[in-house]
Amino acid sequence: MTTSSSTGLSRRALLGAFAATTIAAAPTYAKAAGFLRGSGDIRRIAMYSGRTGESIDMIYWIEGKYITEALKEITYFMRDWRVDEVHQIDTRTIDIMAASHALLDVTEPYMLLSGYRSAATNAMLRQRSSGVARNSLHIQGQAADLRLDSRSVSQVANAAAACRAGGVGKYSGSNFTHMDCGAVRSWGA
């Protein structure tokens, strides 16, 4: 994106103006495109973390291009908060999250339970729970565990599965849905 010196608008100011609008999330992720036709070429993600108290609500894609600064903020937000370690989050995972959110037709932000996990954090969680994979895609920055208070685990999982773009796990007992950009598969009840 370029800015015009005659308008005096910086890229950040333009992004702020977009973020202040009420434009709905509109990812056009290749396999989710059928669900999102006609919704524009803007992608948005909104989340909060009960662990850190942080929240994020931003447009990260405009006119066919990812916004580097927005992706950096999303990556930082989805860091391993236990060890304050940051790892690049795969844009395909962000796209699946945004497309699922749009399909659910909610304004409520996701609650992020887990994004990137360091190998040490993943090993610690594996000791506590049999539901944590040894080679979890969280370690690669390719997965997220999410919750919406206004929707059931099954509703969120069904929206993610409708994208047919990655793995979807239902963890009804713990009230969250896992989304990743790995192989298309599903599990859980």
pLDDT one-digit tens code per residue, 114-150: 999 998 988 888 788 767 777 889 999 999 999 999 9
| Residue 135, token pair as written in the block | 């080679």
Confidence of residue 3 (pLDDT cuts 50, 70, 90): very low
Mean residue pLDDT of the chain comes to: 83
**How many beta carbons lie within 10 A of that of residue 188, not counting itself?**
17
Query: Which CATH number among 3.40.140.10, 3.30.1380.10, 3.30.830.10, 3.30.450.20 corresponds to the domain 11-188?
Result: 3.30.1380.10
- Is the pLDDT at 26 greater than 70? The verdict is no
pLDDT at 151 over 80: yes
**Sign of CA pseudo-dihedral 129, 47, 62, 22:** positive
Instruction: Give me the pLDDT at residue 37, please.
Output: 44
69-112 pLDDT tens trace: 999 999 999 999 999 999 999 999 999 999 999 999 999 999 99
Measure the CA–CA gap between 37 and 33, rounded to whole angstroms.
6
Boundaries of every domain in the chain: 11-188
Bigger pLDDT: 135 or 6? 135
- For 64, which DSSP code? T
Q: Where are the alpha helices (DSSP H) in 21-67?
A: 33-36
Q: 22-26, 33-37, 38-42 — which one is most confidently predicted on average?
A: 38-42
Which residues contact residue 107 at a Cβ distance below 8 angstroms, ignoring those fewer than 6 apart? none
User: In the prediction, which pLDDT does 129 show?
Assistant: 76
Q: State the amino acid at position 168 in one-letter form.
A: V
pLDDT score of 40: 62
Residue 32 has pLDDT above 70, yes or no: no
Please give the helix or strand (H or E) that residue 7 lies within, else none: none
